[in-house]
C-alpha cells in the first residue's frame, strides 16, 4: 500500500518487451465512499499498441505512422485497426476499461 506523497516506484509491463514505468505519487486523495476504484484521475498520451515491440518497436511504429508514403504505412494502419494518434488520451475510456465495461 502506498502511504506517502512523494513515493516513487517502478512497474514493469510485459516482461518480453520490458516496458518500465516510473510512478510518482503526487497526491493522495481521501477515499470517496461513492467512488469506483481503481480509477484514473489524469493521464497523458495514448498507450502503445499491444505487441508493438517495446520502446524501439514503438519508435519505429510512430515513424511509419507519421509518413503516409512510407512503404509499411498501410500495413501498420491495418494492423493497429484504425488511425493512431499518440497524443490522444481519454480518461473516460480508461475508466470504462477499469470498470470492465469495455476492452481495448
Q: Which residues of 72-82 are buried (b: 16+ CB within 10 A; e: fewer)?
A: eeeebeeeeee
pTM of the model: 0.73
Closest by CA to 50, choosing from 4, 16, 26, 9, is 16
> Which residues fall within 8 angstroms of residue 24, CB to CB, at 6 or more apart?
6, 7, 8
Instruction: Find the helix packing angle between 73-80 and 54-66, rounded to 10°.
Output: 120
**pLDDT tens sequence for the chain (104 residues):** 788 999 999 989 887 888 888 888 888 888 888 778 888 888 899 989 988 999 899 999 999 999 999 999 999 999 998 788 999 999 999 999 999 999 87
Amino acid at each position: 500500500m502506498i502511504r506517502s506523497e512523494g513515493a516513487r516506484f517502478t512497474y514493469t509491463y510485459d516482461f518480453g518487451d520490458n516496458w518500465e514505468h516510473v510512478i510518482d505519487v503526487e497526491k493522495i486523495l481521501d477515499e470517496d465512499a461513492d467512488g469506483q476504484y481503481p480509477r484514473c484521475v489524469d493521464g497523458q498520451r495514448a498507450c502503445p499498441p499491444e505487441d508493438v515491440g517495446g520502446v524501439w518497436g514503438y519508435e519505429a511504429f510512430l515513424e511509419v505512422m507519421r509518413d503516409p508514403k512510407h512503404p509499411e504505412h498501410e500495413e501498420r494502419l491495418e494492423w493497429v485497426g484504425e488511425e493512431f494518434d499518440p497524443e490522444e488520451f481519454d480518461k473516460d475510456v480508461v475508466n470504462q476499461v477499469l470498470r470492465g465495461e469495455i476492452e481495448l
